[in-house]
Amino acid sequence: MPRESQRARRERAAEIARRLGSEHPGSATDLCALRHDGPFQLLVATILSAQCTDERVNMVTPAVFARYPTAADLAAADPAELEEMIRSTGFFRAKTSHLLGMAQALDARFDGGFPPAMADLVSLPGVGRKTANVVRSVALGQPGLAVDTHVTRLSRRLGLTKATDPERIEADLCALLPESEWGALSLRLILHGRQVCSARKPRCSECHLSDVCPSAGIDVLASRASKPGKTSSPTRDRQPSARSRAKKTSS
């Protein structure tokens, strides 16, 4: 693909966002698969979603939310009890530590309220920029573009960034689109990554972005690369090497 001006990249990004919006309509709140009621519940669910499917998290959170409806309730939770409740989400000890630390910080520093500022959110235990951006864009109506593995893979394949660092990718994407579109774009890229542009077997022939994607066709290359090469001839057809012939002659 020839070198692209920033203006041309913005125009292509806008077209990509438009098509993804047609494929996956709705706001960031509509598109979020984690069931929740308010920013506190979404923060809990997002922490639990690390290395876990949204479906599994949604099976676990109703009991957690009922048992610990507020930050103060969660802050006072018995760690062993909480661990057992969230065990099936994986990494349950680390997640318990993050949840308790987050809730205790909210209760002590923000009087149980919820801070919308990025600096305040990332100061909470277990909360990084990705988690903070999810909560800001989905539950608080604030600008936020979460960068996970799907967003990283797709934004690079689409030629919207060359970066590998999540914060740099976030900055590059945010520079291409108005902030009102950031949250929904992130979730649409995640959905597209799961359904079409997977890591190992992208389905370029089925992708409605193929004509604006510089990586279109990598599914064919991946398929060719996965095919085994030529197998060697059967043993009976092999010719003996010069070294083996010499050893045979000298014996």
- Measured between alpha carbons, how far is residue 141 from residues 119, 122, 167, 198, 248 in Å? 17, 17, 20, 29, 82
Q: How many other CB atoms sit within 10 Å of the CB of residue 219?
A: 19
Tokens for 61, please give them: 């959170």
Could you give the angle at the alpha carbon of 136 between the alpha carbons of 31 and 81, nearest 5°? Answer: 85
The active-site residue, picked from 130, 165, 172, 230, is 130
Closest CA to 174 of 17, 8, 3: 17
User: Which of 214, 225, 216 minimizes the C-alpha distance to 162?
Assistant: 214
Q: Which of 148, 165, 227, 237 is catalytic?
A: 148
Phi, psi of 198 (to 5 degrees): -75, 165
Residue 166, Cβ neighbours under 10 Å: how many?
Answer: 18
d(CA 12, CA 183): 18
Q: Is 227 a catalytic residue?
A: no
130 given a catalytic annotation: yes
Catalytic residue ranges: 130, 148
